[in-house]
Chain A
Amino acid sequence: MPCVKVTAGVVIDFDGRARTLLDALEQQKLTVNFQCREGYCGACRCKLLSGAVSYINEPLAFVRKGEFLPCCSTPDTDIEIEIP
């Protein structure tokens, strides 16, 4: 069960109750910007400081190095992220 560390100090267990990382963050009442929730708008971009994620479907939005889209991804390993 990968664990998600958010720079604000919150640690979340990604335990299968959330479909995506965005859902998991929202369940913890963290505010993440979003629009499409399916990987084509890029509004949910966050920084991936360590670890790896995989995409449920390959996103269309441009993802820069060191960033990821929580709306359409799940963690592969423990990850550390920063919400802008």
Chain B
Amino acid sequence: MAYTTFNRQINDQMKEPMFFGNPVNVSRYDQQKYGIFEKLIEKQLSFFWRPEEVDVSKDRIDYQNLPEHEKHIFISNLKYQTLLDSVQGRSPNVAFLPIVSLPELETWIETWAFSETIHSRSYTHIVRNISAEPHKVFDDIMLNERILERADDVTRYYDALIDGINLYQRCGEGTHTINGQSHSISLYELKRRLYLCVMSVNVLEAIRFYVSFACSFAFAERELMEGNAKIIRLIARDEALHLTGTQHMLNIMAAGDDDPDMAKIAKECEEEAYAIFRKAAEQEKDWAEYLFKDGSMIGLNKDILCQYVEYITNSRMQAIGMKAIFSTTQNPIPWINTWLVSDNVQVAPQEAEISSYLVGQIDNEVDGGDFGDFDL
């Protein structure tokens, strides 16, 4: 069945499954099959922020004074996050919009992906400020083997789903010969790719960002790179919401009321789901090793960070009804929670003022005098 941007079939949207039913026609929210997605949209909109509102100008001096191995930690994490948000800013739209069947879910996907584009723009804001040659930082992303290795696992499930959808929507189920090559697709196989894709996105947003978050907050605990930390807090807040969104999708799929095939697939894919989590955790541990190859930073080292990866992997798995795979049960860096908490509830230790969190407020009160004590 080909995709259409305004499906003429008169359907009862309340009876459509999340995916692979009729394409959405009227974007209406007066009735909702899953009200949670509308709530997520409202929450995400209430989180709206612009990178330019966060003053990062002091970070420039901090960065220049960092020892080389800490510069490496900081900038490598930024590059990795840039990769992740480049993928997340487009892929939910490209992969899920052609197959979604509920208006509230369709709009959640768009809202989610839009917030990722803010994250991407914030990295440019940070890099422009700390480096006179921002292009070098971004150019390196496409050349850095450590990052490209990760890109492969981050994009594989999206690409397999998108490829299957293209074939299915053009040719339908069956085996088709295209440019002399034979390709097969079935709706069931597509659903399987969808499930694995959502699972891998869940892992991306649940685990892959957190090594880098931990480093950003470890700098900020020392009152370094605090502008960056403010931005990371805003990103982490968004990510927590995205994670909740994919957890809901996975749980609705596994329950089977929405689409009985999905419940069956969730069972069949159990082993693969474990493997996706395990591989991501291993890759993040390798990443920690790469970050600290020339030396640790105060408050964090490779071992602590690896334990944190294990701890967070366990808790993310349990959230979707899986069993923990690591023996770590305690958070080795409990101070990170204070940085991750929502700004309107509690203020992190070093944060005297958080006015920049308010939409529309601009916080740029740094003048030359503030830099008086520094030698450049």
Give the interface of A toward B (CB within 8 A): 31, 33-38, 40-43, 45, 60-62, 64, 84
Contacts and interface: CB of A to CB of B under 8 A. Distances in A.
A62 B319 contact: yes
A41 B241 contact: yes
Given A37-B342, A41-B240, A60 B39 contact: yes
B361 interface: no
B178 interface: no
B352 interface: no
A81 to B, nearest CB: 16
Interface in B326-346: 329-331, 334, 337, 340-342, 345-346
A33 B342 contact: no
A60 B40 contact: yes
A62 B247 contact: yes
Contact of B36 (A33, A42, A60): A60
A41 B237 CA distance: 9
B341 A36 contact: yes
Given A45-B319, A60-B40, A34 B244 contact: no
B315 interface: yes
Nearest to B249: A62
A41 B315 contact: no
Given A42-B247, A60-B241, A62-B244, A35 B341 contact: yes
Interface in B219-269: 236-237, 240-241, 243-244, 247-248, 251
B321 interface: yes
6 contacts: A31-B331, A38-B342, A41-B244, A60-B36, A62-B247, A62-B248
B314 to A, nearest CB: 9
B8 interface: no
Contact of B319 (A31, A34, A42, A60): A42
Nearest to B324: A84
Contacts of B240: 35-36, 40-41, 43
B368 to A, nearest CB: 38
B329 to A, nearest CB: 8
Given A41-B243, A62-B244, A84-B315, A33 B337 contact: yes
Contacts of A34: 337, 341
B318 interface: yes
A40 B315 contact: no
Given A37-B345, A38-B342, A45-B319, 17 more contacts: A35-B240, A35-B337, A35-B340, A36-B240, A36-B340, A37-B341, A37-B342, A40-B240, A41-B240, A41-B243, A42-B247, A43-B337, A45-B318, A60-B39, A60-B40, A60-B43, A62-B244
